[in-house]
Amino acid sequence: DLVKDEDLNVLGDLGAGNGGTVTKVWNKKRNCIMARKESLPRELKIFRKQIIRELQIMNDCSSPYIVEYYGCFPVDVHVGIVMEYMDAGSLDHIYRRNGAIPIQMVGKVAEAVLKGLMYLYDVHRIIHRDIKPSNILANTAGDIKICDFGVSGELINSIANTFVGTSTYMSPERIQGAPYTIKSDVWSLGISLVELALGRFPFSDSPDDEDESELELDPDATLPLNSARPKLKPKNSGEGKSAGVSLAGGGHSMSILDLLQHIVNEPAPRLEKKGRTYPPEAAAFVEGCLHKDPATRKSPQELLVSFPQVDLAAADALKASDWITKSSVTKDDLKAWTKSVTQAE
């Protein structure tokens, strides 16, 4: 039985993103808390019926790594989507409040996201298309799940890149117009993992205190193209608000076009921070996600499964999947961690 809007009482706000707002709601009929997202920009209202039909696909999804879906309905020009409430919230909220996420927990995030991606692809032939820390949610039962996937392939193609398009987590080949593949999601996962481990968006142009070397403040050093245009603007200058993207933790903003050019032209970010060391298997995993050429970038399977080593000379070499297959973090550890970051609120 799908949830209806009249079953719901609003409890409070959970957050707002590009496409709408998410509220915490009480379901009177089932006596439990849920999350309701009001989604999709007004331009899409003509497609609303089609969207609602296609959203039914979400109803067929059943995986411990996918946020559960309970129903949807029109709310004036929007579509209301009711889903499972994740009480530890999204990973971007968690690291902004508590600082960088412990690297072993980031490894469990990687595993959950990859398993979610493989489920969507293998069972439903869906590519997520919007992997980023705010679409990875945690709860105090120790689950990590992904939400907000591109169910509507047809629809997304027909509206091209206007609304699902531009994101700072987008892969270099997507920025250059190549079609979406599951490997584009792997890139976005790599960027997200670096962000969670460093505690800031990896393309930030304003390095954090203990790390002054990463991307230098001299804009021309990191963004060689279009040097005629100013690249760094004071964050609160007011002008260019809509064209500029505010980078997490930074005191400056880079225009989205400059950032996209940077992603295409510069080496991919790495798991590196001054004064900190990360396990080599974590660095190898992230590197496997962030090959700029999708042909050599690892697939979800290669990142999850420890294939037997055929090449004996390479038998000692680190495999990208080692971080996952050799992890000793348990579900109880995840529970304890999500509880600790939730209590810090």
Residue closer to Mg ion, measured from CB, 135 or 321: 135
Q: How far apart are the first and last CA of the chain?
A: 34
Of the two residues 37 and 291, which places its CB atom closer to Mg ion in the complex? 37
Tokens of 150: 């591109």
Return the residue of 61, 147, 151, 341 that touches ligand ADP, per CB under 6 A. Answer: 147
288-292 contact pairs (CB < 8 A, 24+): 288/190, 288/320, 289/186, 289/187, 289/189, 289/190, 289/193, 290/187, 290/190, 290/191, 290/194, 292/172, 292/267, 292/268
Pick one of 83, 175, 197, 198: the residue that binds ligand ADP (CB under 6 A): 83
Smallest distance, Å, CB 272 to ligand ADP?
26
Q: Least distance to ligand ADP from the beta carbon of 208, Å?
A: 22
The tally of CA atoms less than 13 A away on the side-chain side of residue 181 is 12
Closest CB to ligand ADP among 136 and 197? Answer: 136
Catalytic residue among 7, 92, 130, 143: 130
Q: Contact region for ligand ADP (CB under 6 A) — 130-138, 186-194, 215-223, 249-257?
A: 130-138
How buried is residue 4: exposed, middle or buried, by Cβ count under 10 Å (0-12/13-18/19+)?
Answer: middle
Minimum CB separation of residue 228 from ligand ADP in Å reads: 32
Under 8 Å between Cβ of 112 and 329 = no
Identify whether 130 is a catalytic site residue: yes
For 110, the 3-state DSSP assignment is helix
What three-state secondary structure class fits 37? strand
Q: Is 37 annotated as a binding residue?
A: yes
Please name the residues in contact with 93: beta carbons below 8 A apart, sequence gap of 6 or more: 15, 134
Distance CA 327, CA 128 (A): 25
- 138 contributes a contact to ligand ADP by CB under 6 A: no
Q: Does 246 bind ligand ADP (CB under 6 A)?
A: no
Question: How many Cβ atoms from other residues are within 10 Å of residue 39's Cβ?
Answer: 21
Task: Tell me: does residue 191 bind ligand ADP (CB under 6 A).
Answer: no
Among 84, 111, 148, 214, binds Mg ion (CB under 5 A): 148
CB of 141 to ligand ADP, least distance (A): 13
Amino acid at 85: Y
Which residue number, 135 or 140, has a Cβ lying nearer to Mg ion? Answer: 135
Distance CA(222)–CA(289), nearest Å, equals: 22
Q: Which two tokens stand for residue 154?
A: 């047809």
148 interacts with ligand ADP by CB under 6 A: yes
Does residue 215 touch ligand ADP according to CB under 6 A?
no
Q: Find residue 234's DSSP bridge partners.
A: 252
Q: Please tell me whether residue 305 binds ligand ADP under the rule CB under 6 A.
A: no
The binder of 315, among ligand ADP, Mg ion, none, by C-beta within 5 to 8 A per type, is none
- State the binding string over 18-37 for ligand ADP (x if CB under 6 A, else -): xxx-x------------x-x
Regarding 135 and contact with Mg ion (CB under 5 A), the answer is yes
Number of chain residues interacting with ligand ADP (CB under 6 A): 23
How many whole angstroms separate alpha carbon 255 and alpha carbon 263? 13
223 lies in the site for ligand ADP, by CB under 6 A:
no
> In this structure, what DSSP letter does residue 329 have?
-
Binding site for ligand ADP (CB under 6 A): 14-20, 22, 35, 37, 67, 83-86, 89-90, 93, 134-135, 137, 147-148
Active-site residues: which are they? Answer: 130
Residues in the annotated binding site for ATP: 37
Residues in the annotated binding site: 37
